[in-house]
Amino acid sequence: MMISLETKRLRIQPLTLDQFGLLIKGIDEIERELLLTPSHEPLDEHTQKAMEWLYNEAQKYPGEYLWLTNWQIILRSENKSIGSADFKNLPGDNGEVEIGYGINHDYEGKGYMTETLEAMCKWAFEQKGIKCVIAETEKDNYASQRVLQKCGMEKYKETDTGLWWKLENKSCF
């Protein structure tokens, strides 16, 4: 079952396991596979390691891969991947799932990430048993905090390194 989420400006495409494997090899590999305009935006070292871990988890749980794959954010007007998002693990027994995201520098501040997170949270809440979506931001990442606020998330915890945000399954988009 292949799905994608459509918004006014975006197509948010979860990668199949095979496609996710291509992403691990390099962004140009998956962009060719998806017939996208090249972005020339390689994964940074931190993101590469996170994607490798997530890919290994996705292989262990192929029936649940949508929670463990990378979702490419494709700007429809340019047919270009401008960033990605993912659920960072399988949902917990408490119905909680964590989301992570990143956008290419040239596309920051245009509302694309807010549009993406709203669509992905809506999708998550349509899945059985999901009670809330959480996210962590660094304390000084004000842009990311603003995105989460615009999506209706509320800060619920602070640690030495970050702020934790939550959206409960009662919101309508």
Radius of gyration over alpha carbons of the chain, in Å?
A: 15
**Is 80 exceeded by the pLDDT of residue 170?**
no
- The maximal CA–CA distance of the chain, rounded, in angstroms, is 42
- Are 161 and 140 in contact by the 8 Å Cβ rule? The answer is no
Tokens coding 149: 């606020």
8-12, 17-21, 41-45, 68-72: which range is least confident on average?
41-45
* Range 15-20 average pLDDT: 96
**pLDDT at 154 (0 to 100):** 97
% the chain with pLDDT above 90: 94
Cβ atoms within 10 Å of 172's Cβ, excluding its own: 6
- Are 147 and 108 in contact by the 8 Å Cβ rule? The answer is no
pTM for the full model? 0.94
Each residue's pLDDT tens digit, 41-70: 988 999 999 999 999 999 999 999 999 999
Mean residue pLDDT of the chain comes to 95
**pLDDT at 30 (0 to 100):** 95
**Is 70 exceeded by the pLDDT of residue 173?**
no
% the chain with pLDDT above 70: 97
* Range 27-47 average pLDDT: 94
Domains, the chain, ordered by start = 5-168 (3.40.630.30)
Ramachandran class of 137: left when φ > 0, alpha when ψ lies in -120 to 50, beta otherwise: beta
**pLDDT at 135 (0 to 100):** 98
* Range 30-38 average pLDDT: 96
